[in-house]
Amino acid sequence: MNPRLEKDGPAGPSSTRRAFLSTTALAGLSLSADSLSAAGKPLKNPICVFNKPIQHLGYREQAELVAELGFDGIEGTVRKGGHVEPEKVEKDLPRQIKALREHGLEMTIMTTDIDSADSEVHRRVLETAASLGVKRFRMGGIRYSADKPLPAQLDTIKNTFADLAAFCAPLDLQPLYQVHSGAYRFGAGIWDLHSVLSQIDDGNPGVAYDIRHATVEGGLSWPTEFDLMRPFFGAVYCKDFVWNDSDGRPENVPLGTGRVDYPRFFTMLKKSGYEGAISLHMEYMDHRDPSLLQDAIAAIRKDRETLHELMQG
């Protein structure tokens, strides 16, 4: 386990992660007696819910619902079209955080479209969030250009990551990059993301490890990528999919009904000693249609029950 990544956000020297990576490399895939013992116990990680499907609710109403559903917090959208618009972050984010705390909740993860520290709006979002006690945020996705050499693009991405991590370090705020499937998506193949993160010394960027997307891209090899990226885990995302017979593309489905091997995944997570947040994503309904709000809430409730059962297994 890497407590610097999972409990306290970016606190602590970057040498801690280098030492962890070195130890992991030397130890291979061996597990300590303590981790093997812990593997037989239910996971007790903090659970949050991605609030995109319930953005039609006001901050207080949403907080009340999230608490009633049994979550510890939310993964809240602070991005264009999100529950908090970036340009209004100083006004609206404090209102949302206040509503959450009044119901015993936290903004476990802040989801953004931030891909660098160059934008004045991005810097205001990060500084405001940090002042309110937010500890980690999901970055915006990065895409490769198909008509340029990939190695040169990786160098640019690494420099952008390094600058963003350095900006966030004194704010005690950890950038997380989501593992996401798709052509020309940086990080879809995992190895490129690992290459970039392992070269950054100043700050503490990490990974929002999305097992649905990792399974889409990794097929049978996802456990290998899991082991590779485990030292960088700052959050874990849970959702499910099937392959659509008509077009061959992945299609989101209720948790536990698709292709993700959750029994194996949670067994590996337990053995690894992961104690960080798990975020539930319900993305198989159209969140843009307010008339589907009650159906979306029912779906989240069911997925939350399924997640609890999977984590106990």
The domain that contains 76 carries what CATH number?
A: 3.20.20.150
pLDDT for 43 equals 84
pLDDT for 163 equals 95
Query: What span, in angstroms and rounded, lies between the C-alpha atoms of 270 and 226?
Result: 13
pLDDT for 201 equals 87
Concatenated DSSP letters for the chain? --HHHHTSTT-S-THHHHHHHHHHHHHTT---HHHHHHTTSPP---EEEE-GGGTTS-HHHHHHHHHHTT-SEEEEEBSTTSSB-GGGHHHHHHHHHHHHHHTT-EEEEEE-----S--HHHHHHHHHHHHTT--EEEPPP-B--TTS-HHHHHHHHHHHHHHHHHHHGGGT-EEEEE---STTBTTTTSHHHHHHHTT--SS--EEEEEHHHHHHHHGGGHHHHHHHHGGGEEEEEE-EEEE-TTT--EEEESTTSSS--HHHHHHHHHHHT--S-EEE---SS-TT-GGGHHHHHHHHHHHHHHHHHHHH-
pLDDT for 202 equals 83
54-105 residue pLDDT tens? 999 999 999 999 999 999 999 999 999 999 999 999 999 999 999 999 999 9
Q: Look at the chain and report how many structural domains it folds into.
A: 1
Query: What span, in angstroms and rounded, lies between the C-alpha atoms of 299 and 192?
Result: 34
Q: Find out whether 209 and 237 touch, Cβ atoms under 8 Å.
A: yes
pLDDT for 41 equals 76
pLDDT for 8 equals 41
Query: What span, in angstroms and rounded, lies between the C-alpha atoms of 36 and 55?
Result: 40
pLDDT for 2 equals 38
Distance of CA 88 to the CA centre of its chain: 24
Its domain, for residue 204, covers 3-312
Query: What span, in angstroms and rounded, lies between the C-alpha atoms of 211 and 261?
Result: 9
271-299 residue pLDDT tens? 999 999 999 999 999 988 999 999 999 99
pLDDT for 38 equals 52
Q: Give pLDDT < 70 ranges for the chain.
A: 1-40
Record the tokens describing residue 38, joined without a space. 């812990």
Across all residues in the chain, what is the average pLDDT?
89
